Structure 1
Amino acid sequence: MTAAIMGTLGALAPWRERNGRFSPLRLCVFLLLLAPGVWLAASLAAGTLGAKPVTEAIHQSGSWAIRFLVLSLLVTPLRRMTGWGRIIALRRMIGLAAAGYAAIHFALYALDQGFDLAVIAREIVLRIYLAIGFVALAGLAVLSATSTDGAIRRMGPAWHRLHRIVYPLTLLACLHFFMQSKADVSEATLMAGAFTALMLCRGATRAGLPLASPLVIAGIAVVSGLATAGIEYLWYALATGVPADRVLAANLDFSYSIRPAWWIFGGTMAFALLTAVSRLVDRFRTPPRMQVRREPQSARS
């Protein structure tokens, strides 16, 4: 019995594939997903998170949650760009990591409130950004609970419809990030820009445009970069007292910092280059078809 249980647990280990084989790729990704949590726990224990360590831990865990959430949405477009089918198996692991960090984010907030459920509930009801974050957390919990192979088999086509809510949940997470970032929304803008680029990839696929085309990805890079600059401008114009025109003009001034719009444009263009290299490699890997040499009619007669 013990051996059977240990065997089952071993097969479910995140560094193993579905057939039970050890996967170096899955192990590396698992360790990378685990690393921020280990660093955060070690920093809390060592007291190196500043004057308000729990508050800083709340912000850090929330940031990692949305980073991994956006990263999980990148897996499918990346597979279509490169044709590397094995990468799709990493999507569930990254999504579960995002949900895990979101749960830690909420648990640390509850700790900061002394685990007073009445106070926590009142704050969620009264503060719109907390309500938005809580809805996103609840949605991620539902997606995590239904991410098993058994749930996929039981739910059938309904599983795909349910898991499409990851897109509005990511949008809510981005909005929550903006609202709690206060004055500096650079990283929130970066995450919103990345989400915009991924949604453009999804739109291109639905429109029948091949993501394996470097030109398609380059077009997405231009549009998503401009959209990111627009998102940042609108946030500062509508939600803050900071002159939005100066923020927009800062996109053309590289003496201080590189604005999120350029990071999104450059990052997406890097994927365009990746698709070009992938197509070139595939071309060299595929041997040319051997041409059948036909003998002249005179030689056969």
Structure 2
Amino acid sequence: MSLSLALPMPWWDRQGRFSPLKAGVLALLCLPALLLGWWAARGELGGRPVMEAIHWSGLWAVRILWLSLLVTPLRQMLRWPRLMLVRRMVGVAALAYALLHLVLYALDLKWDLAKAASEIVLRIYLTIGFVALLGLVALGVTSTDGWVKRLGGRRWQGLHRLAYPIALLGAVHFALQSKIDVTEAVLMAGLFLWLMGYRALAPKGAAPSLPRLAVLTVAAALGTALLEAGWYAVATGVPPLPVLQANLDVEFGLRPALWVGLAATGALLARLTRRLIPA
């Protein structure tokens, strides 16, 4: 038997047919890595190219992990069951970027694995990130149909609910390593609030009602603003009120709370539009 017949291709559906949806998503998931390789080949990663690559791979590991958590809400709000075809692919891509993040970190230390291990043990943000990576590895290894059969559906689902605390650890790692400018980290934390709030409000197997999504939109935006103000108050001593007021001033761009509010409003409108369109 040829290799192409023995191994399922990532762009195939479960019937072994070409899936435009899976192929398109796969191409998009590969795009950040391709851009990173292109910039590296052209010498466009700045004075510390490996460090820039570390940050880029880590950023996309978090972003893609969040996208994997978004698949179920989108499938429910849009009533698009086939979207579940890409959930495993997106989760494995998040693992791939996280592993690249670790490999590049070891490269930056000139492959001194003993030093890398000691840094991971001694620096709390690295410890948190490494624990999250180990969790992603466990989920990646057990993501196959074979592991679903070995563990049984209920135990498999219980194991893969660890994606939520793993994402939380990833958000904390991201925030701690961001140090001064935590804009992106706060944005990701706010989106995580929405993702978890969605799951808390959604009835089993369906999307929350429009009023609940509206409340969640406001709560996620407000929660993001409070997170940002609290972070700066603790980390830098900046009083919370000016940080909160900065969300009302868009002259220099939108703050994370407003971006979260816009994203949540988009989800609300998608849910409303899908309700108005006959199935």
User: Common fold, TM-score beyond 0.5?
Assistant: yes
SS in 1 for 2:18: coil
Q: CA deviation at 1:243?
A: 4.1
Find the partner of 1:173 among 159, 165, 170: 170
Counterpart contact for 1:213–1:276, Cα < 8 Å: no
Separation in structure 2 between the aligned mates of residue 149 and residue 82 of structure 1, nearest angstrom: 26
SS in 2 for 1:21: coil
Partner of 1:186: 183
Amino acid at match of 1:280: L
Partner of 2:200: 203
Q: CA deviation at 1:257?
A: 1.4
CA RMSD of aligned residues (A): 1.4
Matched, 1:112 2:93: no
1:252-263 aligned at under 5 Å gives the runs 252-263=248-259
Matched, 1:7 2:5: yes
Matched, 1:78 2:103: no
Percentage of identical aligned residues = 50
Counterpart contact for 2:194–2:216, Cα < 8 Å: yes
Counterpart contact for 1:81–1:213, Cα < 8 Å: no
Q: CA deviation at 1:6?
A: 2.1
- 1:135-182 Cα distance to aligned partner (Å, 9 max, x none): 001110010000001001110121111111110010000000101111
Partner of 1:150: 146
Counterpart contact for 2:202–2:208, Cα < 8 Å: no
Q: CA deviation at 1:213?
A: 2.9
Find the partner of 1:26 among 9, 22, 38: 22
- 1:98-148 Cα distance to aligned partner (Å, 9 max, x none): 000000000000000111111001101111000000000111001000000
Amino acid at match of 1:269: T
Partner of 2:121: 125
Of the structure 1 ranges 39-48 and 92-101, higher mean CA displacement relative to structure 2 is found in 39-48
SS in 2 for 1:41: helix
Amino acid at match of 1:181: S
Q: CA deviation at 1:214?
A: 2.6
Separation in structure 2 between the aligned mates of residue 112 and residue 103 of structure 1, nearest angstrom: 14
Separation in structure 2 between the aligned mates of residue 78 and residue 264 of structure 1, nearest angstrom: 16
Partner of 1:269: 265
Separation in structure 1 between the aligned mates of residue 238 and residue 132 of structure 2, nearest angstrom: 28
Of the structure 1 ranges 165-174 and 240-249, higher mean CA displacement relative to structure 2 is found in 240-249
SS in 1 for 2:247: helix
Counterpart contact for 2:64–2:91, Cα < 8 Å: yes
- TM-score by length of structure 1 reads 0.89
Q: Considering only CA atoms, is the larger Rg found in Structure 1 or Structure 2?
A: 1
Separation in structure 2 between the aligned mates of residue 56 and residue 177 of structure 1, nearest angstrom: 15
Counterpart contact for 1:210–1:216, Cα < 8 Å: no
Partner of 1:291: none
Counterpart contact for 2:232–2:238, Cα < 8 Å: yes
Matched, 1:215 2:211: yes
Of the structure 1 ranges 167-176 and 37-46, higher mean CA displacement relative to structure 2 is found in 37-46
Separation in structure 1 between the aligned mates of residue 240 and residue 99 of structure 2, nearest angstrom: 34
- TM-score by length of structure 2 reads 0.96
Amino acid at match of 1:39: L
Separation in structure 1 between the aligned mates of residue 126 and residue 232 of structure 2, nearest angstrom: 20
Separation in structure 1 between the aligned mates of residue 205 and residue 233 of structure 2, nearest angstrom: 34
Counterpart contact for 1:209–1:216, Cα < 8 Å: no
Q: CA deviation at 1:45?
A: 1.8
